Amino acid sequence: MTGVQLRNLGIRYGQVEVLKGIDLDIPASEFIVLLGPSGCGKSTLLNAIAGLQDVAEGQILIGGHDMTSVEPKNRGIAMVFQSYALYPRMSVRGNLSFGLKVAKVAKPEIEKRVAHVAKMLQIEPLLDRKPSELSGGQRQRVAIGRAVVRDAGVFLFDEPLSNLDAQLRSDLRVEIKRLHQRLKSTMIYVTHDQIEAMTLADRIVVMKDRIIQQQGTPDEIYNKPANTFVARFVGSPAMNFLEGTVRNGEAIVDGEALRIASALSSPLAEGSKVIVGVRPEDLVVHADEAAPGLAVEIDVVEPMGSEKLVWCKRGSIGMSAKTPSSAKVKSGDKVRLGLSEDKLHIFDAETGKRL
C-alpha cells in the first residue's frame, strides 16, 4: 500500500507561478478528490504527481520514496484521462497490454492479467474491438482497465467522467467507488463536479487560485466550509449569503436581526461586517406571514420530484430554499424563511474566512 506526500510543491510555466507551496499528505488506500473550478491548478498537480509535469520546487514522495524526478512509468502509478486517451489503432486487448509489453512482462502473465481485469470491468466481449467501435462509457471502462492492469499502488483520475452523459456518469461513479473498495489502492481524483467529490471522496481538497482552500472529509467540507469560496462551490444550489452587521451579538441583515451567537466560535466585536451563510435545505418556508424569519416573495418554484426548489427575493437579495414536494407554494406568494441559529455559517465579510 502506497501513500503520497507532497512537500512544498511549486510549479511554474516560464515566469508564471501555477502552483505554490502545496503540502499534502495522502495516506495509503485513501480516496482523495481534488476539487476546484477550471484553472485552479488541480490537473497540473495531478500531472506533477504522475511525472508528466516538471516541478520547480518541492518534493513528491510516493510510497515513501522521493519520486520528484523519476520517469512516470517508474512511479508505480496508473492514470485515467478525461479524453480516454485510448490508443486508436490498437484493439482493446492491445490497449490493456501495451504497458505490460513495454515493461517486458512475460506473455502468459500479460494474458492472465488482461483476462482478469476484463472480467472485473465486464469488458470481455470488447477485447478484440477498436476504440472507435466503442461507446463513450465503454471507452472509459477500457481506460480504467488499462490503469488497473498496471497493478499500481496509486491511481490518478483526471476528470474521468466529464465527457459522459449524466446517466453513465452516475453508473461509472459507483463503479469507481466499488473498484476502490476492491483494490484498496490510493486514488487521487481530479474533478470540478462537487457531487462526484462528495460521493467518492474519503477526503476532499478544495483548490482555487493555485492554493489549497480547505481539506477535510466531505462532511467537514459541507458542514464547516472554511471560507465563502468553499461554501459556495460545494452544494447545489449554492449556499445563500446575506450581508450583515453585528449589533448586540446579533447580525442585522437588511433591517432584520438574526441570532448568530451559537454559530460563532468566539464573540464578535460590535459593528463588524459579516456574511451569514445558510444552505437552502436549512431554510424553512412558512406560508404564515406572522411566523419568525425573513419576509420574502417567491420568485420561481422548481419542482424536482423529491422536493421543490423555491427561489425567493427580498429587494435585491436573492435566496433559494428547499421544501418538501407536498408544500403548497407558488410564484408571487409572500412567505417567511425560517432560519435556525445552529445551521448558520458566519464568515468575515472582508476575508471571507469562517468565524
Partner 1 sequence: MTITNGQAPVRRNAYAAPFSRVLVYALLIVLAIVALIPLYVMIVTAFKSMEEIRSGTLLSLPHAFSFEHWWKAWNSACTGLRCEGLKVGFVNSFLITIPSVALAIAAGAVTGYALSFWRVRFANVLFAVLLIGGFFPYQVLIYPLVRITSTIGLFNSLAGVIAVHVVFALPVVTLLFRNYFASIPIDLFKAARVDGAGYWRFFFWILLPMSVPMIAVAGILQVTFIWNDYIVGLVFGGINYAPMTVQLNNIVHSTYGEREYNVEMAATLLTSVIPLLVYFTSGRWFVRGVASGAVKG
Shortest CB 173 distance to partner 1, Å: 20
Question: Could you tell me which of 335, 346, 289 has the C-alpha nearest to residue 308?
Answer: 335
Cα-based angle 23, 195, 10 (whole degrees, multiple of 5): 20
Listed in order, strand segments (DSSP E) in 122-185 are 154-158
Nearer to partner 1, 127 or 252 (CB): 127
d(CA 44, CA 119): 33
Q: For the window 157-186, what string marks contact with partner 1 as x by the rule CB under 8 A?
A: -x----------------------------
d(CA 275, CA 282): 16
Shortest CB 149 distance to partner 1, Å: 10
- Residue of 5, 68, 82, 140 interacting with partner 1 (CB under 8 A): 82
Q: Does 88 bind partner 1 (CB under 8 A)?
A: yes
Q: Does 87 bind partner 1 (CB under 8 A)?
A: yes
State the CB neighbour count (10 A cutoff) for residue 111. 14
Residue 273 CB partners (closer than 8 Å, separation 6+):
243, 244, 245, 246, 348, 349, 350
Nearer to partner 1, 78 or 263 (CB): 78
- Residue of 28, 56, 61, 85 interacting with partner 1 (CB under 8 A): 85
Using CB under 8 A, which residues numbered 209 to 228 contact partner 1?
none
Question: Could you tell me which of 34, 10, 155, 157 has the C-alpha nearest to residue 84?
Answer: 157
The 3-state DSSP composition of the chain as helix, strand, coil percent (nearest 5) reads: 30, 35, 35
Stretch that binds partner 1, among 68-76, 257-265, 266-274, 280-288 (CB under 8 A): 68-76
Nearer to partner 1, 86 or 212 (CB): 86
Using CB under 8 A, which residues numbered 272 to 301 contact partner 1?
none
Grid coordinates in use for 56? 520547480
Stretch that binds partner 1, among 66-74, 174-182, 193-201, 332-340 (CB under 8 A): 66-74
Q: Does 38 bind partner 1 (CB under 8 A)?
A: no
Shortest CB 253 distance to partner 1, Å: 48
Q: Does 103 bind partner 1 (CB under 8 A)?
A: yes
Q: Is 351 left (phi over 0), alpha (psi -120 to 50) or beta?
A: alpha
- Residue of 81, 183, 329, 333 interacting with partner 1 (CB under 8 A): 81
Nearer to partner 1, 83 or 325 (CB): 83
Beta bridge partners of 214: 206
Q: Does 78 bind partner 1 (CB under 8 A)?
A: yes
State the CB neighbour count (10 A cutoff) for residue 95. 25
- Residue of 3, 7, 25, 98 interacting with partner 1 (CB under 8 A): 98
Stretch that binds partner 1, among 4-12, 76-84, 236-244, 297-305 (CB under 8 A): 76-84
| Residues 297/333, Cβ–Cβ less than 8 Å | yes
| Residues 321/302, Cβ–Cβ less than 8 Å | no
Q: For the window 116-155, what string marks contact with partner 1 as x by the rule CB under 8 A?
A: ---------------xx----------x--x---x-----
Strands 294-303 and 283-286: unpaired
Interface residue list for partner 1 (CB under 8 A)? 47, 50-52, 71-73, 77-79, 81-90, 98-99, 102-103, 131-132, 143, 146, 150, 158
